[in-house]
């Protein structure tokens, strides 16, 4: 076998071995990215290269690269003589624990990972393949932003990526891992994906950098303060979690992907477990304090019922008064939404409502059953909440639960007061199985507040008010009135919660429920 190349008046023939050698040479050049010096620089910053990251994320030997030899076509500002195969992004597919995923990893050693139109086309191409083949897409972001030498074409490239994010939403899981800079227009693609994670100290996200902020607003702020991992996991909620380094981030990302289905036509993932279905947790019988005003840690309940006591929590450091994340029950992935009495008594506020609403909608989009654990005294009062729009933000969570058709099981452990009772996946919002512990208190409000309204003319008689309060608690601050009305399906023994919840979800595995025909609902954004 030979190849013919014309060179002036001479015809040069290449043997098959020479062609293969040239191919290998081209591959080696592409794999070297921006060169050894820039790779060493990347390592000195505590960061892996794009290819090293992919190797950690994917099962060994499973990566198949696409568009390795793509180069940019920029001719201005001296760029016509500067081309590097791959053009700053590595794209392809592979497997995580045997499951197909598509991946792109921006290569900071090549033009600072900046996005050109050809760089964007590579990302768009791999995203389209992911949508077509119904497999998750993972983006490993490490980029200096749009390639300014190209101008509007690079901006158009961002918009092309954004469009694919929107089209993929609700079809395949989209995960972004921010592993370096992500600024300007680049931030909107991660924002449109389902989950965004960051690496501490080496990654940041912001629309405008510290220099621009100082010029426009006179604020002096560092990149870390403006858009570092701590900022986005504790204040803005842009990121769902942060990790100490690249290795930890990618290793945990592998674990996270195990919880997710490949696409919206699959059910929740099921894995074999040795954890007994009928495992009893006697500690749950005494979890609720005798004093209704004392807190307890809802995470104890979540971990007690979960397979192997494993709870993958999301947004752990943001809106801590509500917990969200994934567990497995009898091997099946289940999304958990739970009030946390340890923080703000478990009240719903603006931040917790938004946090939970988005998670509920993700679970519903991908047919992941939802377990709701309720101990909520109501919505947070105050001018800050009202001026901030608690009405509309609280309605987000209400809308999400009402619209959801995935299996929904609810367990009320203690307080379920007022409108917050309705919002937290009540039977009235098509809860499939609604249970309560004997310690549950389901009422319009707490006994003391109710009595002070109902018997305000007796407020000057403390003994009578105390008697009225005790009477109210006995009559209404229990789950049995709701059970008599059919708003609860059963009152269960706390220590048997794991078995009862597993049984409930097992009966719902073939659930079918449809909303009225429409293009989509207008959620109160």
- Positions annotated as catalytic residues are 184-185, 419-420
Neighbours of 314 (CB within 10 A): 21
Residues facing residue 348 across a β-bridge: 379
How far is residue 420's CA from residue 380's CA, in Å, rounded to a whole number? 10
β 64-66/89-96 pair status? antiparallel
Instruction: Identify each DSSP E strand in 418-501 by its residue range.
Output: 433-436, 441-443, 490-491
Nearest to 91 by CA among 169, 161, 195, 37: 161
HEC secondary structure over 175-239: EEEECCEEEHHHHHHHHHCCEEEEECCCCEEECCCHHHHHHHHCCCCCHHHHHEHHHHHHCCCCC
Calculate the alpha carbon distances from 443 to 377, 382, 417, 451, 484 in Å: 10, 21, 5, 12, 14
Calculate the alpha carbon distances from 111 to 25, 188, 409 in Å: 21, 21, 50
Helix (H) / strand (E) containing 373: strand 370-376
Nearest to 127 by CA among 80, 85, 175: 175
For tokens 């060179």, the residue is: 7
């Amino acid at each position: 076998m030979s190849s013919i190349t014309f060179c002036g008046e001479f015809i040069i023939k290449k043997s098959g071995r020479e062609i293969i050698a040239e191919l290998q040479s081209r591959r080696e050049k592409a794999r070297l990215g921006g060169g050894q010096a820039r790779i060493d620089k990347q390592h000195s910053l505590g960061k892996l290269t794009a290819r090293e990251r992919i190797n950690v994320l994917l099962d060994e030997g499973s990566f198949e690269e696409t568009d390795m030899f793509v180069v940019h076509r920029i001719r201005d500002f001296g760029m016509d003589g500067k081309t590097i195969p791959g053009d700053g992004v590595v794209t392809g597919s592979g497997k995580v624990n045997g499951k197909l995923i598509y991946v792109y990893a921006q290569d900071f050693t090549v033009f600072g990972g900046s996005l050109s139109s050809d760089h964007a086309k590579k990302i768009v191409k791999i995203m389209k393949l992911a949508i077509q083949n119904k497999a998750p897409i993972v983006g490993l972001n490490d980029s200096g932003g749009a390639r300014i030498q190209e101008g509007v074409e690079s901006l158009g490239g961002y918009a092309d990526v954004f469009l694919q994010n929107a089209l993929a939403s609700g079809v395949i899981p989209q995960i972004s891992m921010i592993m370096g800079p992500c600024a300007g227009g680049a931030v909107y693609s991660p924002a449109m994906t389902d989950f965004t994670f960051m690496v501490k100290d080496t990654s940041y996200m912001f629309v405008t950098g510290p220099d621009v902020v100082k010029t426009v607003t006179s604020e002096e702020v560092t990149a870390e303060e403006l858009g570092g991992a701590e900022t986005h996991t504790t204040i803005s909620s842009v990121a769902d979690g942060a990790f100490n380094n690249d290795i930890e981030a990618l290793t945990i990302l592998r674990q996270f992907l195990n919880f997710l289905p490949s696409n919206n036509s699959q059910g929740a993932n099921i894995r074999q477990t040795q954890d007994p279905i009928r495992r009893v947790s006697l500690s749950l019988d005494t979890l609720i304090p005798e004093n209704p005003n004392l807190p307890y840690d809802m995470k104890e309940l979540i971990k007690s019922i979960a397979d192997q006591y494993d709870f993958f929590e999301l947004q752990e450091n943001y809106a801590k008064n509500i917990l969200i994340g994934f567990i497995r029950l009898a091997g099946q992935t289940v999304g958990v939404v739970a009030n946390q009495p340890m923080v703000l008594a478990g009240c719903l506020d603006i931040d917790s409502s938004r946090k939970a609403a988005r998670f509920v909608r993700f679970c519903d989009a991908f047919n992941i059953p939802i377990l709701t654990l309720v101990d909520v005294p109501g919505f947070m009062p105050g001018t800050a909440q009202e001026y901030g729009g608690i009405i509309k933000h609280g309605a987000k969570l209400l809308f999400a639960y009402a619209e959801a058709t995935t299996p929904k099981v609810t367990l009320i452990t203690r307080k379920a007061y007022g409108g917050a009772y309705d919002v937290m996946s009540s039977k009235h919002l098509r809860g499939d199985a609604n249970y309560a512990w004997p310690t549950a208190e389901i009422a319009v409000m707490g006994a003391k507040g109710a009595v002070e309204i109902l018997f305000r003319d007796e407020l000057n008689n403390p003994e009578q008010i105390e008697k009225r309060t005790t009477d109210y608690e006995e009559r209404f601050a229990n789950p049995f009135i709701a059970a008599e009305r059919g708003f609860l399906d059963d009152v269960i023994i706390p220590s048997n919660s794991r078995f009862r919840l597993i049984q409930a979800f097992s009966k719902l595995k073939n659930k079918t429920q449809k909303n009225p025909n429409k293009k989509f609902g207008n959620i109160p954004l």
